């Protein structure tokens, strides 16, 4: 194919697919970190329990301060109230909630334990105490509380099931983790799907070898299960087992030919063994299937730059930045491409911006 026709086709992939797509932010399953400044999440209808009797007027002001994010002031008023009226019910509960929102999870758990002693049926205190122990890095203490939470629902509370599964992983109870994730996704505990979901969660927690074992079990139970070969391929790619990764991504495409991420990851594997033409072709397919992800555009920019097609690389990287301007990687690659083209001022701007964004990201807790 002539270079002119190749450029036309590549530009078409980059630009037209962009016009056909809207912006779709990338997200993952809810984690406890995402809810640490909120009331406990609910994805079902548990028997909500609040303290008996009308709200105590003495608690109204500290509760208002807590809702406004003035946690230190709320805690101060509540501690003073507890000192003056040690028998006043509801203070420990409000202190637990305030400390939870503040991010002091061990103190939150301490006061929520007292709240539970005052009212053993306070379901919100039980759930919040479980989350507090999890966030404080004490999963073994969180587990019995979160197990209790699951009994309140006819079907799984997704947030609680996820966190319970992670607690099991952290305590190396992988069988119970699989059962929690199976309940979360409403699949049988010994099914191929349950092993797949558990493998994915294990990979996210950086338990690579255990994740691989679960992915292999999923494939053994159902070789045609969508995303099972994908997970194995990602694990092998992470371990730099490139031939094994390529084989798994190819198997994924056999059973799941419309999955854009499989083309993207297979292209990534090919790019690592210098098969840039194959990688480019796969990336174009990935983009046509899903033009909302920045990863394929960034990798396409890298591949085109490796092939010496720097102007096309610039186009791909500009498209990635239009979708995700705060990502330092495409800025860095674009700076290198500009330098290759002799556009030194543009290169310095992009490289400096990439460095600033990286510093900013690394500074985040």
Alpha carbons 161 and 184: distance in angstroms, whole number: 6
Non-local CB neighbours of 260 within 8 Å, separated by 6+ positions:
285, 286, 287, 289, 290, 293, 296
Q: Pseudo-torsion of CA 77, 79, 85, 91, nearest 10°?
A: 90
Domains of the chain: 62-137 (1.25.40.10), 139-225 (1.25.40.10), 292-365 (1.25.40.10)
Alpha carbons 176 and 174: distance in angstroms, whole number: 5
Please state the pTM of the whole predicted model: 0.78
Which own/partner contact pairs does 159-163 have at CB distance under 8 Å and 24+ positions apart?
159/30, 159/32, 159/35, 159/40, 159/41, 159/42, 159/43, 160/41, 160/127, 160/130, 162/29, 162/30, 162/31, 162/201, 163/31, 163/32, 163/130, 163/131, 163/134
Which own/partner contact pairs does 181-184 have at CB distance under 8 Å and 24+ positions apart?
183/150, 183/156, 184/156, 184/158
Q: Counting Cβ atoms within 10 Å, is residue 137 exposed (0-12), middle (13-18) or buried (19+)?
A: exposed
Alpha carbons 25 and 40: distance in angstroms, whole number: 24
Place of tokens 């203490």: 141
Collapsing DSSP to helix, strand or coil, 135 comes out as helix
Tokens of 155: 């079907």
Rounded alpha-carbon distances, angstroms, from residue 279 to 21, 248, 265, 298: 22, 16, 9, 12
What b/e readout covers 167-203, taking b as 16+ CB neighbours within 10 angstroms? bbbbeebbebbbbbbbbbbebeeebbbbbbbbbbbbb
Tens-digit pLDDT string for the chain (365 aa)? 455 545 545 554 454 444 433 322 223 333 333 333 334 444 444 444 455 555 677 788 888 888 888 888 888 888 888 888 877 888 899 999 999 999 999 999 999 999 999 999 899 999 999 999 999 999 999 999 999 988 887 676 788 889 999 999 999 999 999 999 999 999 999 999 999 999 999 999 999 999 999 999 999 999 999 999 999 999 999 999 999 999 999 999 999 999 999 999 999 999 999 999 999 999 999 999 999 999 999 999 999 999 999 999 999 999 999 999 999 999 999 999 999 999 999 999 999 999 999 999 988 76
Single out the residue of 270, 265, 263 nearest to residue 289, CA to CA: 263
Contact at 8 Å (CB) between 16 and 132?
Answer: no
Alpha carbons 176 and 139: distance in angstroms, whole number: 13
Alpha carbons 329 and 337: distance in angstroms, whole number: 12
Contact at 8 Å (CB) between 199 and 218?
Answer: yes
């Amino acid at each position: 194919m002539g270079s002119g026709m190749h450029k036309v086709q590549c530009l078409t992939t980059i630009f037209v697919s962009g016009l056909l797509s809207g912006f779709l932010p990338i997200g993952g399953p809810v984690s406890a970190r995402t809810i640490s400044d909120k009331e406990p999440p609910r994805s079902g209808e548990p028997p909500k329990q609040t303290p008996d009797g009308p709200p105590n007027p003495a608690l109204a002001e500290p509760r208002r301060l807590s809702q406004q994010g003035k946690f230190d002031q709320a805690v101060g008023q509540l501690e003073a109230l507890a000192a003056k009226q040690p028998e006043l019910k509801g203070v420990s509960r409000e202190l637990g909630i305030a400390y939870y929102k503040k991010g002091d999870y061990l103190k939150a758990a301490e006061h929520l334990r007292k709240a539970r002693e005052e009212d053993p049926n306070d379901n919100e205190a039980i759930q919040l105490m479980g989350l507090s122990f999890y966030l404080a890095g004490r999963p073994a203490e969180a587990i019995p509380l979160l197990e209790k939470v699951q009994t309140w629902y006819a079907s799984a509370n997704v947030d609680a099931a996820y966190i319970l599964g992670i607690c099991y992983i952290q305590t190396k109870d992988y069988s119970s983790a699989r059962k929690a994730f199976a309940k979360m996704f409403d699949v049988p505990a010994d099914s191929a799907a349950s092993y797949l979901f558990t493998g994915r969660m294990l990979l996210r927690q950086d338990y690579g070898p255990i994740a691989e074992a679960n992915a292999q079990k999923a494939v053994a139970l159902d070789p045609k299960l969508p995303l099972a070969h994908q997970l194995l391929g990602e694990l092998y790619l992470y371990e730099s087992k490139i031939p094994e990764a390529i084989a798994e991504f190819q198997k994924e495409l056999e059973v799941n030919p419309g999955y854009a991420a499989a083309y993207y990851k297979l292209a990534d594997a090919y790019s690592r063994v210098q098969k840039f033409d194959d990688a480019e072709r796969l990336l174009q397919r990935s983009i046509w299937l899903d033009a909302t992800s920045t990863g394929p555009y960034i990798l396409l920019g890298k591949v085109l730059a490796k092939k010496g097609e720097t102007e096309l690389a610039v186009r791909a990287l500009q498209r990635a930045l239009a979708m995700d301007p705060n990502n330092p990687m495409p800025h860095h690659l674009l700076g290198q491409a500009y330098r290759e083209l002799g556009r030194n001022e543009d290169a310095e701007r992009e490289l400096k911006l990439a460095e600033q964004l990286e510093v900013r990201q690394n500074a985040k807790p």
